[in-house]
Amino acid sequence: MSVTTATGSPRQPKRAHRPPDFYSLRLPPGYLRPRFWVTWFALGLLRFGVFLPLGVARWLGALWGWMFLLVNAKRRRIARINLAMCFPELSTQERRRLLRKHFVSVGKSYADLGFLAWAPKARLARSARLVGLEHLDGAARRGKNVILLVPHCLGVNYASIIARHHAVFSMFKPPHDAVVDWFLNEGRVRFGAALLSRQQGMRPVVRALKRGMAFYYIPDEDFGPERSVFAPFFGVVTATLPTLGRLAKMADAVVIPVSIRMLPGGAGHELVLGPALAEFPTGNLNEDAARMNAALEQSIRDAPEQYMWTLKLFKTRPDNGPSPYA
C-alpha cells in the first residue's frame, strides 16, 4: 500500500453526461444581521486559531470540548447510550473514558474546521497523509466509477483533499444557520470538490458518477423505517439506508471504504483508502446493507473516540419498538 501526500493534479471527469447543478459557494442574504452575530463571533475565534500552530489550536479546542461535555446534557446522554449499546464488552469506567475522549476530540475538530476553511492550501496539503490512493487510481484506470464510503467521523470534511487527485463530489444537508452552512462549505470545496444538496435526490448523483466523478458517500444516519432496512451495526440491529447497493449497480461503481483519523498534536489528518468491497453489490438489499455497516464499523474502530456518537443512531427500532433515547 503506497503512501503519498496530498499533492498533484485531479483526474478529470468524463464528459459523456451533462453535469448536475452543483452547489455554488456564496454568503446568504442578510449575513450581517444581528441574528448571525453570535455565529460570526465564533467563526472569528476559529479564524484567529489559524494563525496558531495546529497543536495549540487543538489544545484550545479541547478546552471547549470539556465545556461541551459538562454543559450539554442532551448530547452527553445520547453519546452515553450509543457507547453502551455499541461497546457492551467495555466496563462502565472504560466507556466513561471513551466518552470524555470523544468530547475532547469534538472540541479539537472545531479547530480543524477553521484550518480547513482558511489555512493556506500548502499548509493543509502538508498536514494530510493519504494512504491507499492506488485503489482509487486503479479503479479509474479500469474505467470503473467509484463510491468512497465514509463514516460520520469528526474529520469527515477533510476528505475533500482527495479532490487534488481525482474529481470528487459529495452530498450534504444544510444546517439551520446559513452562515454556518457557508463556513462548512468553504472548507469542503477548497480543493475542487463539488457538492449536492440532499433535496436534489439521487438522480444527479448517478449523473455525476457516470461522468467519472467519485462520490464521497456518508450514509450512517437513521432516516426512519420507510427508507430503511435493518442490518447489524456494532452488533445492534440498526435502521440502515439500502441505497449503496442500488447506486453501485446503477452507476457500475466499485465501493472503496475510507477511514479518516485526526493525528496526535498538530500532525494533521491521515486518510486511508482501503481495497474495494469484493463482489459488491450482491443484489440483496439486506446483505448489501450489512456489508456496508461492517465496512463502516471497521473504519470507526480504528479511532472510536473520533466518531459522531452524539447522533441518534438507533432511534428507529424493529417492530416499532421504543427509542432508547426516549
User: Which is nearest to 256 in space by CA: 271, 236, 246?
Assistant: 271
Q: What is the pLDDT of residue 254?
A: 96
Half-sphere exposure of 82 (CA within 13 A, CB side): 24
User: Which is nearest to 109 in space by CA: 99, 120, 101?
Assistant: 101
**Average model confidence (pLDDT) across the chain:** 91
Region at 206 (left for phi over 0; alpha for psi -120 to 50; beta for the rest)? alpha
Residue 138 lies in a domain: yes
pLDDT band at 7 (very low <50, low <70, confident <90, very high): very low
Q: What is the pLDDT of residue 85?
A: 97
Q: What integer is the mean pLDDT of 19-35?
A: 87
Residue 286 lies in a domain: yes
Could you tell me if 207 and 18 are in contact, meaning their C-beta atoms sit under 8 angstroms apart?
yes
Chain centroid to Cα 217, Å, comes to 8
Domain that holds residue 94: 32-320
User: Which tens digit of pLDDT belongs to each residue from 142-151?
Assistant: 989 999 999 9
Neighbouring-strand partners of residue 214: 168
- Return d(Cα 192, Cα 190) in angstroms, integer: 6
Q: What integer is the mean pLDDT of 291-315?
A: 96
Residue 23 lies in a domain: no
pLDDT band at 200 (very low <50, low <70, confident <90, very high): confident
Residue 132 lies in a domain: yes
User: Which tens digit of pLDDT belongs to each residue from 216-264?
Assistant: 999 999 998 888 999 999 999 999 999 999 999 999 999 999 999 999 9
Strands (DSSP E) contained in 154-279 are: 168-172, 194-197, 214-217, 229-233, 236-240, 253-262, 269-273
pLDDT band at 16 (very low <50, low <70, confident <90, very high): low
pLDDT band at 8 (very low <50, low <70, confident <90, very high): low
Total count of domains within the chain: 1
- What angle is formed at CA 214 by the lines to CA 209 and CA 216, rounded to 5 degrees? 110
Residue 24 lies in a domain: no
Residue 129 lies in a domain: yes
Residue 326 lies in a domain: no
Residue 325 lies in a domain: no
